[in-house]
Amino acid sequence: MEREPTMSEPTKTKYDRQLRIWGEVGQAALENASICLLNCGPTGSEALKNLVLGGIGSVTVVDGSKVEIGDLGNNFMVDKKSVGESKAKTVCAFLQELNDAVRANFVQENPDSLILTDPSFFSQFTLVVATQLVEDSMVKLDRICRGAKVMLVFARSYGLTGLVRISVKEHTIIDSKPDHFLDDLRLNNPWPELKRFVETIDLKTPDPIAHKHIPYVVILVKMADEWAKTHSSNLPSTREEKREFKDLVKSKMVSMDEDNYKEAVEATFKVFAPRGISKEIQEIIDDRYAEVGSNSSAFWVMVAALKEFISNEGDGEAPLEGSMPDMTSSTEHYINLQKIYHTKAEDDCLSMEQRVKDILAKVGRDPSSISKQTIKSFCKNARKLKVCRYRTIEDEFSNPSAAELQKCLASEDYSSAIGFYILLRAVDRFAATYKNFPGQFDGGDREEDASRLRAIAVSLINEMGCDGYELPEELCNEMCRFGAAELHVVAAFVGGIASQEVIKLITKQFVPMLGTFVFNGIDHNSQSLTL
């Protein structure tokens, strides 16, 4: 039976502040996760540091190099005493000191070699964080992780630029935690029990105290009904009608100090919202994966149940969330409203639970294999579901969107981001040809490297279907000036972004970034490219 992850009381105390963000379920998911880090230079070490402090279950660091004098200037997780020692072992020991509850292991092997010789190694992990990999290794690792159903996050810093890219076939989110979302009050589509309660309250009551304490939910449901009776059962839709509706609400005020009516006027937009489900939720329930089978995930089984619910007892609506915002009201009215909303939400959840059981039985699975708590969470967030799908790295590299590329290359806002994206691929081709990155050695000819890099970049742009475009000369010069260095300040930022996305993926909360995140430390900005 699929159950919600649980956590111990000491863990609750230890991670109290972050529990306020992603809750016990999210923290327990982190605690049960296993992370593999490839390359523990500054970028990888900073990413893993954040995850270890956050309470990830276990980490495995893979790096075949040894600590060098140069590492002391950009990696705070190595020191002078560790020069000549295994970098993976040193970083692993440091991370263990930060949080002794995390199980830390290391493998002293070159990640590129491990990808080639032991692809099955990666199947044991929840997620792989791959840092500083070149293009060829990225493509191979992506293929391995997708085959093993292991989530993958790429991160790379290169001088004053860097990128982060998620790669997973599909990522489904129940609790997407949107910044702004309309309260689920159904003011424009009240159910019978709410209607009956509203009818018991008289807006014309002569008692001024009672009039001041009528909840705005009641006021707006009554006003919407009054409006619909004189407008062919339609609610306000045009700007003029919306203004008239607000004036209608204001006209019911008997004094200027009635906060409940002021709240009602401010909340009139909740009446204007379209009935039913959003276009995004419609696309999810119409998705081909909503036609479930014996191997379907719990998410898609619940989506299938949601589709049936909306078409039947939901009458075009998703299950009610059941929560009530604060508002000016008498205690009696507010408690009664809370009960009505809570009861409706419970009834909807029970209907969904039965539909989930019926679907599971139909496809030959245990009807109790999806827990009540999971279904309850799904119902509460049914209007906020998200499905993220990512192209393979190989597909993006070999067949990028020419239209998107041309738009970015021609855009002043995106030209630097797309320029660095192309150059980060070009430097890998440069290294494959010349056995070192452009500008990597002090004795090299930087101008010659810049010329070679520019030629490779032009060839790459042509391959991508954007003939005739050239990158700014200063960008090529900057890439050579970087010399493939990992600057700690950039590595910390890029690693921080990567760890943030890892937490989103593991907790299945918040919406992870789509496309490739490119950081430009020269202009202090960043862009997301969807190619």
Torsion over CA of 83, 84, 87 and 93, rounded to 10 degrees? Answer: -70
Closest CA to 500 of 203, 166, 226, 202: 166
Taking alpha carbons only, the member of 363, 367, 395 closest to residue 294 is 363
Nearest CA among 38, 36, 91 for reference residue 58: 36
DSSP code of 235? Answer: P
**Per-residue pLDDT tens over the stretch 97-111:** 999 999 999 999 999
Inter-axis angle of helices 192-199 and 331-362, to 10 degrees?
170
Q: For 352-453, where are the E strands, in sequence order?
A: 386-389
217 contacts: CB under 8 Å, gap ≥ 6: 185, 187, 198, 324, 327, 337
pLDDT of 359 strictly over 80: yes
Distance, CA of 402 to CA of 220 (rounded, Å) = 50
Alpha helices by DSSP H, listed for 259-371, are 259-266, 269-272, 279-285, 298-311, 331-362
Encoded amino acid at 413, one letter: D
pLDDT for 313 = 94
> How does pLDDT run across 190-237, given as a tens digit for each residue?
999 999 999 999 999 999 999 999 999 999 999 999 999 999 999 999
Q: 415-434 and 473-482 are packed helices; what angle lies between their axes, rounded to 10 degrees?
A: 50
Find the angle CA(477)-CA(481)-CA(484) to the nearest 5 degrees. Answer: 115
Cα–Cα distance for residue pair 262/255, rounded to 1 Å: 11
Q: What's the one-letter identity of residue 475?
A: L
Task: Kindly tell me the sign of the dihedral angle through the C-alpha atoms of 328, 329, 331, 333.
Answer: negative
User: Token match 């500083």: residue?
Assistant: 132
Place of tokens 């190619």: 531
Condensed to tens digits (0 to 9), the pLDDT of residues 368-394 reads 999 999 999 999 999 999 999 999 999
Place of tokens 């002090």: 442
**Mean of pLDDT values over 247-266:** 94
pLDDT digits (tens, 9 = 90+) for 129-141: 999 999 999 999 9
Residues 450-488 as b or e (16 or more Cβ within 10 Å = b): bebbbebbbebbeebebeebebeeebbbbbbbbbbbbbb
Give me the pLDDT at residue 149, please.
96
Kind and range of the H or E run holding 105: strand 103-107
Q: What is the pLDDT of residues 300-334, one digit of tens each?
A: 999 999 999 999 999 999 999 999 999 999 999 99
Q: What is the pLDDT of residue 412?
A: 86
Q: Which domains does the chain have, with CATH numbers?
A: 9-176+488-529 (3.40.50.720), 192-271 (no CATH), 279-389 (no CATH), 398-482 (no CATH)
Distance (Å, whole) CA 268 – CA 483: 59
**Residue 250, CB-side half-sphere exposure with 13 Å CA sphere:** 9
Residue 343, CB-side half-sphere exposure with 13 Å CA sphere: 10
